[in-house]
Amino acid sequence: MRIEQDLKLGFKDVLFRPKRSTLKSRSQVELTREFTFKHSGRQWSGVPVIAANMDSVGSFAMAASLAKHGCMTAVHKHYTVQDWSDFVATADTQTLNNVMVSTGTSDADFQKTQDIMALSDELIFICIDIANGYSEHLVEYVQRVRAQFPDKVISAGNVVTGDMVEELILAGADIVKVGIGPGSVCTTRVKTGVGYPQLSAIIECADAAHGLGGQIIGDGGCACAGDVAKAFGGGADFVMLGGMLAGHEESGGEIIEQDGKQFMKFYGMSSQSAMDKHSGGVAKYRAAEGKTVLLPFRGSVEYTIADILGGVRSTCTYVGAAKLKELTKRTTFIRVQEQENNVYGKE
């Protein structure tokens, strides 16, 4: 047994130190980023915020809505090939270019990914997603998908340490998804005791990925726009959001009425609810590692996404970053023991 003594940080442990800036207005801040991906050589330009591949977040409707803001959606893996076919008939190029096709790592998943990718050349992102990205099986699967799709952008995860980021990039991933345990409806840390504070995971994994010419997605744990900015400040190239985008018209969750008020069901993809819906219940050998919650229904996602992007723009003006790309270079985090003033309740 070993104990690492370095303190690891989450979003709530830091704030940005403001810096002198020549920017007059947040409207001068450019959130669009351009990437050229390591293996596929693909270029992509957009706002690197991604709706999570959860079945009450990453829907086709979410993809169409977020694409209008230049943002991405990792569409969940529970749509059928026919559902995808119907979507690709209706969706515009901007939407298709900003969609990730999510997949697990079974042979059936591999075949389904092939069938979906064959529907349109405009689908360019594949998101290989398993809860424990430390499995050798994931590395082999990434190699297999890379061999089959040399010119598609492949994201793989989830992991939280630099060694595994490097292994996945060397196996063929362009992007590595980072986060174990920080999610709003995740109970992995409670059920298993495993995890890594998300800001430190992002800082360490971004360093490893950038050293090899890869990118990372900071996935999970953002509860407000300030956290999204901190994820970018820590070095995340992309930030993935579940809970912040759940509970909206476009999220695709079940609406429930209670006492005349509308709520939307939101649950982890390893929760009892998800396993009951997609796998015929929780298998005997495992525990559910996700929660089910009811969120007050929030209407369209349009206002929420504008609010998040507005917050990140504002962060950039406070530290003097004219472009999102410059945010991490302009970032000095200060460690803190307080965040917002809650005397009149939470924002």
- Using left for φ > 0, alpha for ψ between -120 and 50, and beta otherwise, residue 221 falls in left
- Residue 193 CA to its chain's centroid (Å): 22
Tell me: does residue 242 bind ligand 5GP (CB under 6 A): yes
Element (H, E) at 107: helix 107-117
Task: Point out the annotated binding site.
Answer: 108-131, 181, 183, 216-239
Tell me: does residue 271 bind ligand 5GP (CB under 6 A): yes
**Side-chain half-sphere CA neighbours of 150 within 13 A:** 1
Q: Which position among 55, 174, 219, 250 is part of the footprint of ligand 5GP (CB under 6 A)?
A: 219
Rounded distance, CA 236 to CA 216, Å?
6
What are the b/e assignments for 276-301, b being 16+ CB within 10 Å?
Answer: eeeeeebeeeeebbbbbbbbebbeeb
Return the residues of window 43-82 that contact ligand 5GP according to CB under 6 A. 52, 54
Q: Which position has the token pair 């970053």?
A: 321
x/- string (CB under 6 A) for ligand 5GP, residues 124-143?
-------x------------
| Distance of closest approach, residue 57 Cβ to ligand 5GP, in angstroms | 8
Residue 289: C-alpha distances to residues 83, 160, 272 (Å): 28, 18, 8
Rounded distance, CA 192 to CA 99, Å?
32
Active site residue 186: yes
Q: Of 90, 64, 71, which Cα lies nearest the Cα of 32?
A: 71
Q: 172 by DSSP, 3-state: which?
A: coil
Tell me: does residue 216 bind ligand 5GP (CB under 6 A): no
Q: Which two tokens stand for residue 117?
A: 């990718």
Task: Point out the annotated binding site for K(+).
Answer: 181, 183
Q: By C-beta, is 40 or 56 nearer to ligand 5GP?
A: 56
Tell me: does residue 289 bind ligand 5GP (CB under 6 A): yes
From the candidates 71, 186, 205, 316, give the one annotated as an active-site residue: 186
Return the residues of window 176-205 that contact ligand 5GP according to CB under 6 A. 179, 183-186, 188
Rounded distance, CA 347 to CA 341, Å?
10
Stretch that binds ligand 5GP, among 16-24, 118-126, 266-274, 334-342 (CB under 6 A): 266-274
Q: By C-beta, is 29 or 233 nearer to ligand 5GP?
A: 233
Q: Which position among 51, 241, 301, 319 is part of the footprint of ligand 5GP (CB under 6 A)?
A: 241
| Distance of closest approach, residue 132 Cβ to ligand 5GP, in angstroms | 9
Q: By C-beta, is 172 or 179 nearer to ligand 5GP?
A: 179
State the residues that interact with ligand 5GP by CB under 6 A. 52, 54, 131, 158, 179, 183-186, 188, 219-222, 240-244, 268-271, 289-290
Which residues are catalytically annotated?
186
